Amino acid sequence: MGILLGALLGFTAWFLLNYLVAGLYTVDQNERAVKTSFGRAQRLEKVKTLDDAELRDTLNEDERKRYDYPQLRVIPPGGPYFKWPWEKVYKVSIATESINIATDPETPSANRNGSVLEAITMDQLNTGLTGQIRFRVSERNLYAYLFGIKNPITHVMGYFVSVLREKIATFEAPAGSSAGSHGTAPGTGLNDVSGVSINDIRKNLRLLNEAMDKDCRSSVARYGIVLDASLITGIDPPAEVESALAAINTAHNHVSSEISLAQASADQKIVQSKRAVEIETLKAQSEVEPLTALAKQLSELKSVGGPGSLIAYLRNVRLGVIARARQFVIEDRRHWEGR
């Protein structure tokens, strides 16, 4: 009897320890959790991830059929929570992480041991890319991350690299952008020099990063991972063309400098010419203004005193001129009448 009671107490203690106490769990602040029962994740009934318009708009019609995952019941931070022995809890960190763009999760030795990613440019140059991407798990699509694919980060890296290589192979500087044309005037020939693809990419890294962020928005709907930002920091051409590119850039900068100096000199001369015209215009106005005022005064004098007042005015003016003159000539009308 005592042995049976001891076995019963032992079984009870073992059951409480392994199935009740061990069934308690907590979720950290930077974590989210999903519970499965007999292998099936707890879902929100009749709710799909693509019911979220923001996720749906990142996919085309064909992709929407393939990535229409169920929406799961997410366990928020806190606890303790309880699970039964036939239930399993999957915890996921939603903290933002960084990874080198050359990292291959399946083959660490690839891409020069995960340090440089190679890509072909539009003019068939094999260039090396360096940088990082920031990513985090999206709690809006945990089904895709946990159960949709076996290794989400591998798929995301492959997706990112394929999009990046396609961008590098087709990248062109935006028409009329200062980075692509350097502000040079048409007909200088400098636009053809700046059309070297590596130069265009280097001078438009911000536009390239923004384009990558835009084109990779569908990673949330596809894999349950948010690509927060792509930070491509280096574009390194092959060693055999580096010197040629340096020479092209040096010549381009020299010609651009000369053109800028010529434009500055021309602008200065234009400003000086405009100022000279303004000065001469003011001089002419200063000479015309007294004559205009005199004509106005004479008109008023005539209207008040009649025509005779103008004759008197002219006589007084003539006397004033004669009084100030040192010499004057008197016409001898008799000489002309004799002839």
Q: Is 170 helix (H, G, I), strand (E, B) or coil?
A: helix
Contact 32, 81 (CB under 8 A): no
Q: Supply the DSSP symbol for 146.
A: I
Q: What is the pLDDT of residue 311?
A: 77
| pLDDT per residue of the chain (339 residues) written in tens, 0 to 9 | 667 777 777 767 666 666 666 678 899 999 999 999 998 999 988 888 888 888 889 888 888 888 889 999 999 998 788 888 888 999 999 999 999 988 888 888 888 888 888 888 887 878 888 999 999 999 889 999 999 888 888 888 988 999 888 888 888 777 655 444 444 444 334 444 444 567 778 788 888 888 888 888 889 998 999 988 888 888 877 666 666 666 666 666 777 777 888 888 888 888 888 888 888 888 888 888 887 887 787 787 777 777 777 777 777 777 776 777 667 666 666 555 555
Q: What is the pLDDT of residue 293?
A: 81
Peptide bond into 80 cis (omega under 30): yes
CA 4/CA 9 separation, integer angstroms: 9
Question: Which of 29, 215, 221 has its CA nearest to residue 133?
Answer: 215
DSSP element (H, E) containing 45: strand 43-48
CB-neighbour burial class of residue 240 (10 A; exposed 0-12, middle 13-18, buried 19+):
exposed
- Rounded distance between C-alpha atoms, residue 251 and residue 324, angstroms: 72
- How far is Cα 41 from Cα 262, in angstroms, rounded to an integer? 72
Give the whole-angstrom CA distance, residue 64 versus residue 159.
17
Per DSSP bridges, beta strands 225-236 and 43-48 are unpaired
- Would you state the pLDDT for residue 176? 55
Q: Are 154 and 106 a contacting pair, CB within 8 Å?
A: yes
Q: Are 139 and 132 in contact (CB under 8 A)?
A: no
Cα–Cα distance for residue pair 182/201, rounded to 1 Å: 14
Terminal Cα-to-Cα distance of the chain (whole angstroms): 176
- Residue at 12: amino acid letter: T
